[in-house]
Amino acid sequence: MLFKNTISNLARIRQVAEVLLRYGFEDVVTTTPLRRLVSQNRRLRWLEVDERPVFETTRWERIRLIIEELGPTFIKLAQALSNRADLLPQALIDEFEKLQSNVPPFPTEEARQLIEAELGRPLGEVFSEFDDVPLGSASIGQVHRARLHSGEEVVVKVQRPGVREKVEGDLRLLHELVRITAGFLRNQGLANPQDVVDAFERSMTKELDYTQEARAMEQMRKLYEHYTSFYIPKPYRELSTDKILVIEFVNGCKITDKAQLLAWGLSPETVAETGMDIYLTQIFEFGFFHADPHPGNVLVRPDGTIVLIDFGMVGKLTKQQKYAFAGVFIGMARQDARSMALNFRRLSLTSDIPDMRAFETDLNSLIEDFALLDVQEMSMSDLADSLQSIIYQYKLQVPGAVFLILRALVILEGIGKVLHPHFNTFEFVRPYGARILKEQYSPENILTEAEYTGTQLLALLQTLPIDLRQIMRKISKGDLRVKVELSGYASLLRKADQLVSRTIIALLLLASILFAGLSLLGHYPPEMPYFRGLPIITWYSLGAGLFLLLLLTMPQRSRRSE
């Protein structure tokens, strides 16, 4: 099996190399071990499918074309990366957002067989009706409408046969490609390509397990159990496995179907406002949100209730991340670049910003750009692009949920403008920012933070004596070893060595000058020789000082001459 997988991966890697060459990415192939898989005399065909020379398209467009040709797993990776503005330039993100996973449905007979195999009983024992025509299909699975014997209408999400093995094979290929091209990718600015693939692998593993989606739906249902304007369909856990998911069927229209909303006597403006309120509550109150609110996933019932479907992609923020994210918007509303910078630093997984002044200056420029705009001119899309550009420029490692939120807000703004002529996202976000600020500095939260800090301090005080005792015991036995690894330290050590040497010489020079001055105050015996009215010892001190002065200036001259 291992040999078979190796041969399969090799053939697939050779295919990838050929696709890269066909789209003009010779540099990727010729500067990495991929070059060994392509014959030297192979003639290149520099044409796309539509017969345009590849160099008439941009590099970013050609990357998208390559992804489309390599198949569904690569498309899903690119779609996931389209939410990571900290890793990719905006031009490439724009191309990745064009990718569509248009996969034809698989035969219904295979879906029936898989359901029966998963549930361990005939389909007729579970469903009184089962629609053979899928409602929709994607790269991972497809959805059928059905009815239980109890009369309840449901939808059945069925995983595509063999997709798990296909995805696992593609993931192995991705790991191998990253290993081969790691140096090239790092030179292109992608510092941690292996981490990206690891994160994608975790995401795909969750998506291949439908029980994860069922849990997310149940969690959201619990959070909103008392809401009357919002509904999440019920998952039937007893009829679901990791490969099939049975969910309550909900009747409704797409939220952007303005004509149907008006026919039902609903106000499109009210629907838009309710939808935005629901999403901002998920983000800023619960820190747990549906991350893919495109119109097909947001339905409206005839009574105006908003329904969210497809919880395959959800986002989470910790309490501290939620406060920091809100603080970015609050700082912008107050035109306070320093507050924005500090909250970005709190939001980042690593707070390494080399030049905070330049960072604050860029944030201030962003604030000035938006401060001059009228409320109706402000766009969440423009703001998201500007924020993502700054994140990419300064290589801030912010939680992936932040990009999911920005993307969701842009989508919601687009929906809102279809339904509401005066819809403005910022007007909805502003009160939530104030509410978050109030929550952050509430007595209860301050007490919680104090308790956490106290617990951490107490734990430190409890372990510190033991740690110190162990260190002292090792020191007394001569067993203490300190391991230090430095990178790129040669020039730093040279400068440190020069600095120490010059400092010692300067101190000796100062000592000789002081001694020469003090020697003039001494009372010497008649034998002490004098020259030009000064004792000879003073001349010796001045001579030593002159020599040290020459030594002090020589390194500078030698360095300049190099």
The catalytic residues are 292
Q: Write down the residue that tokens 């000035």 correspond to.
A: 368
* Euclidean distance between CA atoms 36 and 129, whole angstroms: 56
Q: Helices 163-187 and 72-81: crossing angle, nearest 10°? A: 50
Residue ranges of the alpha helices (H) in 313-442?
319-333, 337-347, 356-371, 380-393, 400-419, 425-440
Q: Which helix (H) or strand (E) holds 38?
A: none
To the nearest 10°, report the CA torsion of 375, 377, 380, 381: 180
Phi (first) and psi of residue 289, to 5 degrees: -145, 155
Q: By C-alpha distance, which of 268, 312, 300, 342 is closest to 404?
A: 312
CA dist list (Å): 183 to 31, 33, 180, 191, 381 = 9, 10, 8, 9, 34
- Which residues are CB-neighbours of 123 under 8 A, at least 6 positions away? 112, 115, 116, 130
User: CA angle, 383 as apex, 377 and 387 as ends, to 5°?
Assistant: 165
The percent of the chain in helix, strand and coil, each rounded to the nearest 5, is: 60, 10, 30
Using alpha carbons, list the distances in angstroms from residue 393 to 14, 195, 326, 358. 34, 19, 21, 11
As a whole number of angstroms, the distance between CA 211 and CA 311 comes to: 11
**Contact between 362 and 386 (Cβ < 8 Å):** no
Tokens coding 196: 């990206």
Rg (CA), the chain: 34
Q: Which stretches does DSSP call E strand in 199-341? A: 230-231, 244-248, 253-254, 288-290, 298-300, 306-308, 314-316
- Describe the crossing of helices 193-207 and 72-81 by its angle, rounded to 10 degrees: 110
Strands 127-130 and 141-148: antiparallel
Residue type, 272: A
DSSP-assigned states of every residue in 101-119: ---PPPPHHHHHHHHHHHH
Q: Using CA atoms, how far apart are residues 398 and 377, in angstroms rounded to an integer?
A: 28
